[in-house]
């Protein structure tokens, strides 16, 4: 480690800044933010820099830099474009044992400025030791997107309770457990949602409830999207990385499960068409049991939890037990698979509405209102319809949908194994019988399917990355 990261308290300390241009202005802005008294020295000083320092108990000296100006000074920065002047400032500061920074000259620095992520009181400094400021800035950009703005308010809230918590718990371990739960649980979530007052009340209530072990956990019902991990939301990812235990089903891709906290317990509760690994009641009960043990439980579902996901049922049973929960929407298969297959679900000329329908039938015809599904100018998307495809297609035709209406099967959409089969209502079932594209698969019916051919720029991408099966090509694919 070339440099030891330290945080310098500059409250009422004097910092000398030699130089009066843009770079000096940037440094002065930082110093002022840390409440330093800034003395700027240069022949020419930007008016806004003069104003900044003078308004913050500092001083602007227009004229020649002199070594004596470093008397009783705590920090020195040289930000001029005059190399020999910069060197002189460096020497004068070193001779007086004052920390010095010469902008963009790591060799002349006894300390360096990191790239800063400011969520005061939480502050993160990133440094590459002067080797690559661009790398530090890129890292800072990543951190900026990763750390919610609410961390600043969360930090302040913790500050308000710090002494009280200290008094309440005798051991460091108990204190740490309490803070870990607080900072990663409901209190933090409330702050992120902008409900600071409720967060403070809850924190107080948790603290008064003495034994932190007896606190109820929380359930996160999260949509994990259709497969491609890049389609996760930031919120999904954040909750995935803080949950203690993960219950996921077969629609959630391996790559997505891999993004969950490494040391979280991962439980497969998959439901496949004929084989219910854990029945729905059992899943509901598991969620309750784990939450009552104080765990943060992630219920990770494919696509969106409220679209053919039975998310509502799981929440009802949590409500009965007063277990707190949050729901995070995910990108549903209809949206993702159609996009990745180059099929827009609506189009000014061809479809003014979309219907999302389950293709799972209890008995052959009565469940679905086909009369509604055959309207022109709409796209119909069938979930869970792969095994009933012949019945669906035949019924749509019988109820008046033209037999030449385009239809597509998108199998394992958005994953590396995505395949797309294009046909018409008349032949799509037969084509699928030959191609045998595997589940999960989505069926899209409507004129918009034809646009897939026209969106060649996108079609190409699908062809290369996702194994598109073109209408006449599937025979050779098999």
DSSP 194: T
DSSP-based three-state secondary structure for 473 = coil
CA distance 215 to 204: 13
Choices 38-46, 55-63, 194-202, 295-303 (CB under 6 A): range interacting with ligand SAH:
295-303
Radius of gyration of the chain (CA): 31
CA distance 263 to 186: 21
308 binding ligand SAH? (CB under 6 A): yes
CA distance 284 to 310: 11
Choices 28-36, 100-108, 171-179, 329-337 (CB under 6 A): range interacting with ligand SAH:
329-337
- Shortest approach of ligand SAH to residue 24 CB, angstroms? 55
Of 114, 440, 446, 459, the one binding ligand SAH (CB under 6 A) is 440
| Beta carbons of 442 and 409 less than 8 angstroms apart | yes
Of 76, 251, 300, 392, the one binding ligand SAH (CB under 6 A) is 251
Looking at 13, 105, 235, 271, which residue is catalytic?
A: 271
DSSP-based three-state secondary structure for 14 = strand
236 binding ligand SAH? (CB under 6 A): no
Choices 6-14, 70-78, 129-137, 306-314 (CB under 6 A): range interacting with ligand SAH:
306-314
In the bound state with ligand SAH, the residue whose beta carbon lies nearer, of 440 and 446, is 440
In the bound state with ligand SAH, the residue whose beta carbon lies nearer, of 154 and 389, is 389
428 binding ligand SAH? (CB under 6 A): no
Q: Which residue, among 425, 222, 463, 250, has the nearest Cα to 340 in the 3D structure?
A: 463
At 454, list the tokens.
């026209």
At 115, list the tokens.
């790239």
CA distance 241 to 251: 19
Choices 19-27, 213-221, 307-315, 317-325 (CB under 6 A): range interacting with ligand SAH:
307-315
- Shortest approach of ligand SAH to residue 3 CB, angstroms? 47
Burial class (CB in 10 A: 0-12, 13-18, 19+), 99: middle
304 binding ligand SAH? (CB under 6 A): yes
Of 20, 150, 185, 309, the one binding ligand SAH (CB under 6 A) is 309
- Shortest approach of ligand SAH to residue 393 CB, angstroms? 15
161 binding ligand SAH? (CB under 6 A): no
| Active site (annotated) includes residue 271 | yes
337 binding ligand SAH? (CB under 6 A): yes
DSSP 317: H
DSSP-based three-state secondary structure for 15 = strand
Looking at 92, 244, 249, 304, which residue is catalytic?
A: 249
| Active site (annotated) includes residue 412 | no
Of 109, 384, 422, 448, the one binding ligand SAH (CB under 6 A) is 384
226 binding ligand SAH? (CB under 6 A): yes
Of 414, 419, 424, 432, the one binding ligand SAH (CB under 6 A) is 414
CB contact set of 46 (below 8 Å; sequence gap of 6+):
20, 21, 22, 24, 25
303 binding ligand SAH? (CB under 6 A): yes
Q: Are strands 75-78 and 100-102 parallel, antiparallel or unpaired?
A: parallel
At 371, list the tokens.
């009369």
Residue with tokens 């037999």: 403
Q: In whole angstroms, how far apart are CA 409 and each of 32, 341, 435?
A: 61, 10, 10
The residues annotated as belonging to the active site are: 249, 271
Binding residues for ligand SAH, rule: CB under 6 A, are 226-227, 251, 301-304, 307-309, 332-333, 337, 383-384, 410, 412-414, 440-442
């Amino acid at each position: 480690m070339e440099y030891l990261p330290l945080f310098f308290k500059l409250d009422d300390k004097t910092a000398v800044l030699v130089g009066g241009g843009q770079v000096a202005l940037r440094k002065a802005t930082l110093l002022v933010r840390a409440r330093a008294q800034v003395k700027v020295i240069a022949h020419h000083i930007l008016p806004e820099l003069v104003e900044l320092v003078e308004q913050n108990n500092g001083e602007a000296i227009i004229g020649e830099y002199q070594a004596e100006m470093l008397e009783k000074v705590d920090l020195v920065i040289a930000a001029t474009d005059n190399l020999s002047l910069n060197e002189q400032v460096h020497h004068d500061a070193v001779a007086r044992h004052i920390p010095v920074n010469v902008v963009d000259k790591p060799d002349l620095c006894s300390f360096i400025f990191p790239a800063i992520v400011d969520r005061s009181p939480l502050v993160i400094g990133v440094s590459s030791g002067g080797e690559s400021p661009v790398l530090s800035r890129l890292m800072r950009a990543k951190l900026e997107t990763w750390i919610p703005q609410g961390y600043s308010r969360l930090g302040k809230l913790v500050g308000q309770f710090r002494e009280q918590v200290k008094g309440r718990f005798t051991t460091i371990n108990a204190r740490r457990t309490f803070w870990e739960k607080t900072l990663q649980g409901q209190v933090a979530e409330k702050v992120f949602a902008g409900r600071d007052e409720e967060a403070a009340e809850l924190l107080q209530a948790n603290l008064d409830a003495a034994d932190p072990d007896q606190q109820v956990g929380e359930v996160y019902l999260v949509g994990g999207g259709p497969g491609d991990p890049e389609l996760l939301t930031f919120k999904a990812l954040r909750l995935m990385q803080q949950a203690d235990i993960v219950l996921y089903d077969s629609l959630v891709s391996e790559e997505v499960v891999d993004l969950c906290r490494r040391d979280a317990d991962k439980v497969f509760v998959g439901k496949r068409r004929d084989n219910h690994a854990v029945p729905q009641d059992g899943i509901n009960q598991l969620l309750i049991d784990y939450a009552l043990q104080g765990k943060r439980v992630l219920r990770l579902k494919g696509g969106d939890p409220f679209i053919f996901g039975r998310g509502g049922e799981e929440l009802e049973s949590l409500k009965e037990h007063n277990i707190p929960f949050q729901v995070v929407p995910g990108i549903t298969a209809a949206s993702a698979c159609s996009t990745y297959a180059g099929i827009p679900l609506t189009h000014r000329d061809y479809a003014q509405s979309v219907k999302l329908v389950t293709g799972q039938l209890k008995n052959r015809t009565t469940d679905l209102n086909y009369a509604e599904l055959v309207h022109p100018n709409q796209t119909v998307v069938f979930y869970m319809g792969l095994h009933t495809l012949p019945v669906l297609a035949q019924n749509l035709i019988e109820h008046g949908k033209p037999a030449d209406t385009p239809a597509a099967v998108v199998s394992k959409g958005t994953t590396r194994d995505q395949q797309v089969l294009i046909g018409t209502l008349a032949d799509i079932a037969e084509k699928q019988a030959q191609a045998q594209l595997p589940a999960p698969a989505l069926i899209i019916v409507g004129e918009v399917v034809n646009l897939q051919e026209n969106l060649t720029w996108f079609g190409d991408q699908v062809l290369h990355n996702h194994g598109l099966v073109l209408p006449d090509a599937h025979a050779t694919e098999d």
